[in-house]
Amino acid sequence: MSPTPERELAEPYMRTMLASAGLDVEYVRAEGDTLYRLDDQGREVPVTDFAGGYGSLILGHNPPEITDLVRELLDRQVPVYAQTAHHPVANRAAQLLNAAITRETGSVEPYFAFFASTGAEAVEAAVKHAEFDRARKVAALRTEIAEHVDLAGSAIAEGATLGAAERERAGAAPSHTAEQVLSALVERLRRHNEQVLSRPPAYLSLEGSFHGKLVGSVQLTHNHGFREPFAAMAAQARFVPLNQPDALTKAVDELRAWVWDLEVEDGAIRVVERLAPVFGAFLLEPIQGEGGIREVTREFAERVQDTCAEIGCPIIVDEVQSGMGRTGSFLASSSIGLRGDYYTLSKSLGGGIAKSSVMLVREELYRGEFEMLHSSTFAKDGISTPIAVRVLETLEAEDGAAYRRAAERGERLKSVLESVRADFPDVVEDVRGRGLMLGLEFRDTSESPSEVFRFLAEADILGYVLSGYLLRTHGVRVLPTASAVNTLRFAPSIGLTDEAIGQLETALRDVARILRDRDEQALTP
Ligand code: F0G
């Protein structure tokens, strides 16, 4: 039996949710920062898009430099899928990524590239690579300690002694011979070390972070609702409050662990404690996107860098949303002095057309064997890699004109958001972000005298309902950050016009007035 044509089978629950906020609109065409829907007569109605494909559209919808390229590629019948072959275009993309990173960070150490399709995939590739490396360190440490235990055994046979501290650690009685003490000590050492080394890796992440929703990455994402139902499936993270260096130090102190090793020196066997490689990685977004547009401070970045160096924990800088020029530089992390052992990029890497992502790992940590263990059918395909090359060339052209444009447009847009805040201080809590990655947070309405506004706060849907209103009444598309729904996010393209900014200002002032006057009626479609 075939399903009835009108029945919604593609995520029907989501459709219902969108409908309740007035967001279940079908868009039929897109260009630049404009989406088009059809009215009752089938005529196109423009909608100014500030959601920007969740940050995937640094060049706008259907940018001509990319659509022309795709047409040309199709006309040339490029092999789209020719896996297990040489891919010089992917290499060109990797070269350009390195050139941008070197220019911005001053680092000359190359980064090796692993291409993939989505943001979460790049994040998981980084986490897997880091774990591959950590597991090797654990194995090497085990071998080394086993060798030292053997050496201690030989030393005892040759009359080596054990001190009081060692006897105590072994739980030995005074009557025990040196051999017996060593044997008890080794037994305890093995048990202790096993307990430390067989733990799942410790991950550090930030409160408010978003790193994806796959099995591994969702456990590194802070939102409890996304994470908790799947907690049994993967290693857990310790979430550190954003921009609180001392809280980071405290978390690390609680997580760090030592293994016991043996040392023989001048005929004495001693226990030495060695820092164990228990940390999988520290993941962070230089500007949190989905969690509410919150910037990591330079001071905090410095503490992250120093702490991770001290404990041997690789840093994965997740630039999936903040990267690719969005904040006025290629990487948002470069402007706060944060250097990644790994970088993840996606979204605008696909030029608004392809699904594309990349994980980059610096040479010192790079493990070639990983390429034999990790793969993805669609990686390095014949469409997304030339697109990535074209996007990178476009961003870097004219001495980085695109970055300057992102910064300038962003400042303009931010000044408008600030002016709305200044005029409606009781309604607008905060304006945050940099370049074309901005957020405007409305004050909490859970204590509002209005029952409707209290309900919207309790149901955690205020931002969605306001977005529905902006769309319906002003033809402006914005969306809240999903894990902090009182914050509206703005991620338009570098082609953003003054006219579009003006349209947004009018729309936001209207919404601010509705909130100030508690005009419940206005929100009802
Ligand atoms: N990392 C960051 C920083 C992201 O913003 C996202 C997605 C991901 C990873 C996962 O990428 O969806 O392609 O697997 N952010 C979206 C958002 C969902 O709301 O901004 P994905």
- Find the 113 Cα to ligand 1 centroid distance in Å: 19
pLDDT at 488: 98
Answer yes or no: is 78 within a domain. Answer: no
Answer yes or no: is 81 within a domain. Answer: no
- Find the 119 Cα to ligand 1 centroid distance in Å: 6
- Find the 120 Cα to ligand 1 centroid distance in Å: 7
| 415 and 366 together in one domain | no
- Find the 174 Cα to ligand 1 centroid distance in Å: 61
| 128 and 169 together in one domain | yes
pLDDT at 225: 98
| 374 and 502 together in one domain | no
| Residue 266, pLDDT above cutoff 90 | yes
- Report the CATH number that the domain containing residue 149 is assigned in CATH: 3.40.640.10
Answer yes or no: is 454 within a domain. Answer: yes
| 162 and 113 together in one domain | yes
| 345 and 474 together in one domain | no
Domain end (from 347, 381, 415) = 381
> Model confidence at 333, in pLDDT bands (50, 70, 90)?
very high
Answer yes or no: is 485 within a domain. Answer: yes
Answer yes or no: is 139 within a domain. Answer: yes
Answer yes or no: is 159 within a domain. Answer: yes
Instruction: Please choose from 57, 118, 211, 355 the residue to mutate so as to test ligand 1's pocket, defined by most ligand atoms within 8 A of CB.
Output: 211
- Report the CATH number that the domain containing residue 480 is assigned in CATH: 3.90.1150.10
pLDDT digits (tens, 9 = 90+) for 38-89: 999 999 999 999 999 999 999 999 999 999 999 999 999 999 999 999 999 9
What's the rounded Cα separation, in Å, for the pair 303 and 316? 15
For the chain, the average pLDDT equals: 97
| Residue 361, pLDDT above cutoff 80 | yes
pLDDT at 6: 83
Would you say how long the chain is, in residues? 525
Q: Which residue has the tokens 């360190």?
A: 137
pLDDT digits (tens, 9 = 90+) for 364-401: 999 999 999 999 999 999 999 999 999 999 999 999 99
Answer yes or no: is 474 within a domain. Answer: yes
pLDDT at 236: 95
| 17 and 139 together in one domain | no
Answer yes or no: is 476 within a domain. Answer: yes
pTM over 0.85: yes
- Find the 236 Cα to ligand 1 centroid distance in Å: 19
| 261 and 365 together in one domain | yes
pLDDT digits (tens, 9 = 90+) for 454-474: 999 999 999 999 999 999 999
Give every strand in the sheet of 479-481, ordered side by side.
428-434, 437-442, 484-490, 479-481
| 119 and 249 together in one domain | yes
What ligand 1 atom has the least distance to the C-alpha of 355? 13
What ligand 1 atom has the least distance to the C-alpha of 481? 19
Domain end (from 351, 381, 411) = 381
DSSP assignment string, 283-340 = EE-SEESTTTSEEPPHHHHHHHHHHHHHHT--EEEE-TTTTTTTTSSS-SGGGGT---
| Residue 121, pLDDT above cutoff 70 | yes
What's the rounded Cα separation, in Å, for the pair 112 and 130? 13
Pocket of ligand 1 (CB under 6 A): 54-55, 118-120, 123, 210-212, 285, 289-290, 318, 320-321, 346, 482
pLDDT at 1: 60
pLDDT at 108: 93
| 297 and 353 together in one domain | yes
What ligand 1 atom has the least distance to the C-alpha of 212? 10
| Residue 524, pLDDT above cutoff 90 | no
**Cβ-Cβ contacts under 8 Å for 286 (sequence gap 6 or more):** 295, 296, 301, 317, 319, 322, 331, 332, 333, 336, 338
| 34 and 174 together in one domain | no
pLDDT digits (tens, 9 = 90+) for 162-207: 999 999 999 999 899 999 999 999 999 999 999 999 999 999 999 9
Closest Cα to atom 1 of ligand 1: 211
| 177 and 320 together in one domain | yes
Domain of 420 in residue numbering reads as 12-63+398-523
Number of domains in the chain: 2
| 408 and 375 together in one domain | no
